[in-house]
Structure 1
Amino acid sequence: MNLTLFDLDGTLLPGDSDHAFGGFMVDIGWADGAAWAARNDQFYADYQAGRLDLDEYIEFATSAWRQRPAAEALAVRERFMAEVMAPQLRAEARALVRRHQEAGDLIAVVTATNEFVTAPIAAAFGIEHLIAVRLQRDTDGAYTGHVEGVPSFQAGKIARVHDWLAGLGRQWQDFERISFYSDSVNDLPLLELVSHPVATNPTPALADIASARGWPILELFK
């Protein structure tokens, strides 16, 4: 059996679900207009530049919804999926996932976006296993605005994949081929570890690295 790992934002999606969810918070009036949107944009720029303070970002990004009643937050997430994300579930990405599914690969989405935003997106792709940033909850089950455990961000993706495999009774060495599709230099640690890295819709920085190292480059949406 082969193992196939997919980054989500910019890889299987042409956009960024985390940044888009923040924009949606502004659109529906849950976040404070232009100032909040500008800060959301700055965090996204920091991520693209590889300098994101994830803890600070999670506190900010969840502040718009985490104190809302759970049913209300889930209903808004459903709206976000229908109105914003559904158009981004492109046929090219679905076909790529399906090829690996039909080959019998063990598949997971491994993303630095939090689990609240990404769980329905992974499900829409028909991917059972999601490794995302876990959000801490208090004893009453309310979100605190903090990250729980190791975040699936940069080198943390390696630790989280390792733990996930261990939970399945597996380890890296069990697989003949391990592929990882990603668009971002933030994922360089995991790209360097797998046997078959694929720079997918890569940023210019990752495209340069992939070209220098002879990694395949996949422009999924062109």
Structure 2
Amino acid sequence: MALALFDLDRTLLGGDSDFLWGEFLTEIGAVNAKEYQKKNQVFFDDYAKGELDINQYLEFCLSPLANNSIKQLNKWHQQFMLEKIQPILLEKAKKVVDIHKKNGDRTLVITATNSFVTRPIAQAYGIEDLLATEPERVNGQFNGKVSGIPCFQIGKVHKLKQWCKENNETLDGAYFYSDSHNDLPLLELVDNPIVVHGDEKLLAIAQQKNWQCMDWT
């Protein structure tokens, strides 16, 4: 038995939940559409290039959580799941998750996208364990800030090691599935790095290192 770690966006999903959540907010009129879409695209492009300022991005993307009640956000998220996420759930990804479970492995989603957006998506794959960027709450309400460190790049490694310590787990024999070169710190840490829908930079590194590559679309 081992840990089976899964990145979420463009790995388990045929798209990016963080980006799509921003698009959804503009479509329902929850944010200023023109301004928000422009910034959302810039941050998305920066991420792809490996140049994302995670703190600036989180200040941007967590502000709508702070500006709306939990009740309203949950209602929107149900609609978001139906309209944006259900169409990009990947059957092949679900089969890989199920194989790991059948083998007795513990499955875990580890993602830079915040836990409000991602927890229901992880659960749609039957995965209860989630490591994500955690939005801070005060009296039950999001305040637009991050609790702890962002679950991004080397931050994923730090959060995972802490989680393993708290859950009496080990990384011996662990698998990690990811699409992005931003996840290289964790891919290089585990015994079984697997590239899924890899970006150009990651595919080049995977070829050099002889890492397994997969396509679940």
Give how far 1:136 is off. Answer: 1.2
Shift of 1:171: 3.1
Match of 1:13 in 2: 13
Q: 1:208 maps to what in 2?
A: 204
- Is the CA contact (8 Å cut-off) linking 1:2 and 1:106 kept in structure 2? yes
Name the CA distance, whole Å, in 1 between partners of 2:193 and 2:170. 18
Contact 1:134 1:151 (C-alpha < 8 Å) held by counterparts: yes
Q: State the match for 2:174 in structure 1.
A: 178
Q: Bigger CA drift: 52-61 or 70-79?
A: 52-61
Residue equivalent to 2:74:
74
- Measure, in 2, the Cα distance between the counterparts of 1:23 and 1:96: 29
SS in structure 1 at match of 2:168: coil
Match of 1:161 in 2: 160
SS of 1:170's partner is coil
Separation in 2, partners of 1:145, 1:52: 18
State whether structure 2 residue 15 is matched by structure 1 residue 30.
no
Instruction: Tell me the SS of whatever aligns to 1:217.
Output: strand
CA deviations over 1:41-65 (Å, ceiling 9, x no partner): 1011111111111121111112224
Q: Could you say which residue in structure 2 is the equivalent of 1:141?
A: 140
Provide the C-alpha distance between the structure 2 equivalents of 1:135 and 1:89, rounded to a whole number of angstroms.
24
My pick for the range that moved more, 153-162 or 63-72, is 63-72
User: What is the identity, as a one-letter code, of the residue corresponding to 1:171?
Assistant: T
Structure 2 length-normalised TM: 0.97
Q: Percent identity?
A: 40
Rounded to whole Å, the distance in 2 between the matches of 1:36 and 1:159 is 31
Structure 1: distance between partners of 2:15 and 2:71: 27
Amino acid at match of 2:71: A
Structure 2 distance, partners of 1:153, 1:45, is: 16
Any idea what SS the aligned residue of 2:110 has? Answer: strand
Deviations 1:109-160 (A, max 9, x none): 000000000010001000010000011122x232121211122100111111
Instruction: Check the 8 A contact 1:3/1:106 in 2, yes or no.
Output: yes
Give the match for residue 96 of structure 2.
Answer: 96
Aligned counterpart, 1:190? 186
Match of 2:132 in 1: 132
Per the alignment, in what secondary structure is the counterpart of residue 77 of structure 2? helix
- Normalising to structure 1: TM-score of the pair? 0.95
Secondary structure of residue in 2 paired with 1:10: helix
How many pairs were matched up?
217
Could you report, residue by residue, the CA deviation over 1:141-186 in whole angstroms, capped at 9, with x for unpaired residues? 32121211122100111111111111112233xx3x1110000000
- Give structure 1 stretches of 5+ with no counterpart: none
Deviations 1:79-113 (A, max 9, x none): 10111101111211111111111111011000000
